Amino acid sequence: MFWKSLKATFLRNFISQIRAYPMSFFVGNLLTALYSVLSAWFLYHLLFNGKLDDSFSKLAGTGDYMSYVIIGSAVYALAVRTCLNVSRSLVTELREGTLESLMLTPFSRYGYFTGNMFQQTVTSLCEVLLALLICTPFGFSPEAFQPLQFIIALGASLFAFFGMSMMLGALMLYTRDTYISQNTLFIFMYLVSGVLFPQGYLPDVFVKIGSLIPLGTSLEVIRASILGITNTVFTESIVYLIAIGAVYSTIGFISMRRIEEIALEKIFG
């Protein structure tokens, strides 16, 4: 049942995305990443004259600011796209009036959400890779790229994002809101996770809170695998991502089962 639910969900979402979503949505995602990189490029070259303080290299583990920002923007876009589309899947079912029929079918919840995650990962990775190609002229130089470490880092990151999306999905389904909750989380992620600058520049309280969000650790290991950063404890970070992904997934699935009942009661109540 797991594999049948996964395959059916993947195919349904993939067909819907091809037929129902306009090309402007795809272009908009690329432009969002491009604008972030362009802003950083202008700041770096025009405002700071291409020079960085020694503290940046010490905290970031690299002096290649543009590659640092480009990778940060790409991974942030991947995290947002996967978390957003997986977490709002049941809310979409509710709005489209198909939640009741879905709950009546003998489907696997693990297969359903994994299928959503798999489909969104395939789509988002294509967008992210294209965005990296577009941003290459602005200074992206993966000279120390390590394929095996990158695959491990990406896999652990996606698992952690999946766990976070399950918790966010439970909150969305309970509140029936996909705007305030998701945007509040994504803006906070952008601030505290080291997308554009090292987390060490933030106050300690934000660093501690940010450590509960897997994006920061994900950026560390992915940057280490691409830029050859040596001040990252790679193995411990991977274990942390897997652990936090498992914890968040467990909490999310347990919460989701109860909130599904509440959502159905509100429909019929």
DSSP string, 203-227: -HHHHHHHTTSHHHHHHHHHHHHHH
- As a dihedral over the C-alpha atoms of residue 217, residue 222, residue 228, residue 234, rounded to 10 degrees, the angle is 50
Whether 104 has a pLDDT exceeding 80, the answer reads no
pLDDT in tens, 169-198: 888 888 877 778 888 888 899 889 988 888
Which domain covers residue 10, as residue numbers? 2-268
Which pLDDT band holds residue 87 (cuts at 50, 70, 90)? Answer: confident
pLDDT of amino acid 247: 95
Arithmetic mean of pLDDT over the chain: 85
Could you give the number of structural domains in the chain? 1
pLDDT of amino acid 95: 80
Which pLDDT band holds residue 236 (cuts at 50, 70, 90)? Answer: very high
pLDDT in tens, 237-267: 999 999 999 999 999 999 888 888 787 777 6
pLDDT in tens, 5-17: 888 888 888 888 7
Lowest mean pLDDT across 18-22, 137-141, 154-158, 226-230: 18-22
Lowest mean pLDDT across 19-33, 54-68, 121-135: 19-33
Predicted TM-score (pTM) of this structure: 0.90
Asked if residue 161 lies in contact with residue 214, where contact means CB atoms within 8 angstroms, the answer is yes
Q: Which residue in the block uniquely carries the two structure tokens 């934000």?
A: 206
